[in-house]
Amino acid sequence: MQASPTDQRRLLELAEVDLAITRAKHRRSTLPELAQLGDLAGQRKAVTQTLVAAETALSDLVVEQDRLEADLTPARARLERNQKKVDDGEIADPKALRAMVEEIEHLKGRITKLEDEELELMQQIEDATAVRDDIAGKRRVIDEQGRAMLGRRDAAFGEIDAEVTELSARREGVARVLAADLVGLYEKAAAKAGTGAAKFADGRCQGCRVEADAADLRRYSSAGPDDVVRCEECGRILVRA
């Protein structure tokens, strides 16, 4: 293949733009914000698991409190009814009265025991609520950090995407003035080497940095100015001075 030295030199500009695009895309994929977002996601997952456990523990305590209250309500009502019967003198039979008094004492003891358990449970619920709220607060902080980080990431994405768009337009402008077969050969080499052309200077390809041997040097030197020469090592088009 042949191409004018001017067109061959334009391939270096094409390679320069391609390298800039590659670097920009690499920056986009390796933004510090991405790693930080990943770390925050891990923290949020761990905190969420802890929060679910805390909410479950709190829910279990509330269920137990409801059970105690369900036992207390009828016990208190029965105590009130029995005490009223005794106070009003409704029970004349001594044996029945004694049984009623004993039941009243039993109910008082049971109610006292249940109320003590409920007081202890209320303290546990208060403590568990504080734990739950503390964990929920930590997750809110992580969420706020995540939203801020997303904003910084999106801003960086926007800047890099704009840069890539500008570089791509520049690349299109350079490629447009070159012969299709020359651009095709460049693209074929770029698919393997990253860029499709490199300067040949100081006896080596400046793309792969491999020094040419004597036979390759003779071939490169004997080629005409319009001859398109490729590096034997990396396949790039060599743009000779």
- Which residues are 201's β-sheet partners? 204
Low-confidence ranges of the chain (pLDDT < 70): none
Q: 3-class SS at 240? A: strand
Contact 210, 234 (CB under 8 A): yes
CB atoms under 10 Å from CB of 21, counted, come to: 17
The DSSP bridge partners found for residue 205 are: 200
The pLDDT value recorded for residue 92 is 82
SS3 235: coil
Question: What's the confidence (pLDDT) of residue 24?
Answer: 97
Handedness of CA 190, 195, 199, 205 (dihedral sign): negative
Q: What is the pTM of this model?
A: 0.74
Class of domain 31-178: mainly alpha
In the chain, which segments carry CATH 1.10.287.1490? Answer: 1-28+179-241, 31-178
Q: 131: Cβ–Cβ under 8 A, 6 or more apart, which residues?
A: 54, 58
Measured between its terminal Cα atoms, the distance across the chain in Å is: 18
Round to whole Å and give the CA distance between 86 and 11: 110
- Residue 64 CB neighbours (<10 A): 15
pLDDT attached to residue 67: 94
User: Which CATH architecture group holds 1-28+179-241?
Assistant: Orthogonal Bundle (1.10)
